[in-house]
Amino acid sequence: MQGWPEFIPSDEKIHYLDLLMDAGFDTIDYGSFVSQKAIPQMADTALVTESAVKKGHTKLLAIIANVRGAQQAVEFTKIDFLGFPFSVSETFQQRNTHSSIAESFENVKQIQNLCVTRAKKLVIYLSMGFGNPYGDPYNESIISEWIEKMQEIGIEIISIADTVGLSTPGQVSRIVGHVVPAFPSVEIGVHLHSTKLEMEAKVWAAYEAGCKRFDSAIKGIGGCPMAGNHLVGNINTEDMIQLFEARGIKTGINPEALAMASSYANRIFKSHGVSR
């Protein structure tokens, strides 16, 4: 909901998060400690965090874009993971975090040290991980090089992000199929953006290549607002779970609780702008 034009009241966010907790997800990316001017929808993340009631095994992940945001996030015991968007596109890194790739890597080192001292784990999102629309240098070996650099400073979870939906199933298969066995100590995930028609092929390509960590969004709402006109929506959570379950892969998600969360999401997004 970070790019939603109309502010969603905090009490509705808190209730929505509570419903998502009931569904039994492994991890919920629920908020961001970022500039309120840049992402006004996330201005109440601290309040939402304070009000959250954790349930079962579900862990909470908060997005941060710099050291200052990380310093805020680690103060909350309820937060398990910090997520940092690290772009392999120089243009997008500047747009997203107002820092160069080199500067961002130095920030990652500081944030990783902070996470270690405060019993958090840092998740790196390699954004523009399947190409970019800006003409910046890109090839598949760049992904392996950055995973290796992140591993060297102690990063254990890396999600390759298709920020603007450029990937093909074949490309997903090649990249994931290479990095999963090449970096056995790193949990490799995918954060795919896709049209509904291409979702199944991309998700299944990643799964067959060895990926077991998938990001998605209820009703497929969202995308990165910093991508501007290149915005492509997130993978629909309900569709992805249905895909896995139909192929005999148990997700552990409570279907009744998921349906309630999905219904509530439709209500709040409709009442604050658009119906899905």
Q: What per-residue confidence (pLDDT) applies to 82?
A: 98
Nearest alpha carbon to residue 241 among 214, 265, 271, 273: 214
Domain extents for the chain? 10-271
The CA distance from 276 to 270, in Å, is 7
pLDDT given for residue 234 in this prediction: 86
Position 224 scores a pLDDT of 53
Could you read off the pLDDT of 51-101 as tens digits, one per residue? 999 999 999 999 999 999 999 999 999 999 999 999 999 999 999 899 999
Confidence of residue 163 (pLDDT cuts 50, 70, 90): confident
Quote the mean pLDDT of the chain: 93
The pLDDT score that the predictor gives to residue 275 is 45
pLDDT exceeds cutoff 50 at 276: no
158 near 150, Cβ under 8 Å?
yes
Who contacts 197 (Cβ-Cβ below 8 Å, separation ≥6)? Answer: none
C-beta of residue 125 within 8 angstroms of C-beta of residue 146? no
pLDDT band for position 225 (50/70/90)?
Answer: very low
Whole-number percent of the chain with pLDDT over 90: 83
- CA–CA distance, 128 with 85 (Å, rounded to integer): 10
252 residue type, one letter: G
Burial of 141 (0-12, 13-18, 19+ CB in 10 A): exposed
Residue 192's nearest CA partner among 218, 211, 170, 164 is 164
Does this model's pTM top 0.85?
Answer: yes
pLDDT band at 152 (very low <50, low <70, confident <90, very high): very high
Residue 160 has pLDDT above 90, yes or no: yes
Confidence of residue 30 (pLDDT cuts 50, 70, 90): very high
Phi, psi of 86, deg, nearest 5: -110, 110
Q: Give the mean pLDDT of 208-219.
A: 96
Burial class (CB in 10 A: 0-12, 13-18, 19+), 226: buried
pLDDT at 107: 98
Contact residues for 195 (Cβ-Cβ < 8 A; gap 6+): 165, 232, 233
CATH class assigned to 10-271: alpha beta
Structure tokens at 30: 């629920």
What's the average model confidence in pLDDT over 239-254?
Answer: 96
Contacts (Cβ under 8 Å, ≥6 apart) of 82? 61, 62, 63, 64, 70, 73, 74, 111, 115, 120, 121, 122, 123
Q: In what order do the strands lie in the sheet with 27-33?
A: 27-33, 59-64, 79-87, 121-127, 157-162, 187-192, 213-214
Q: CA–CA separation, 1 vs 20, rounded Å? A: 14
Q: What are the angstrom distances between the C-alpha of 85 and each of 61, 212, 249, 273?
A: 13, 20, 29, 27
Q: Which of 117-121, 179-183, 219-223, 269-273 has the lowest mean pLDDT?
A: 219-223
pLDDT over threshold 90, residue 159 = yes
Q: Is the pLDDT of residue 252 over 70?
A: yes
At residue 229, the pLDDT reads 43
pLDDT at 226: 47
Give pLDDT tens digits for 3-20: 787 899 999 999 999 999
Q: Report the candidate in 46, 45, 85, 81 with the shortest Cα–Cα distance to residue 65.
A: 85
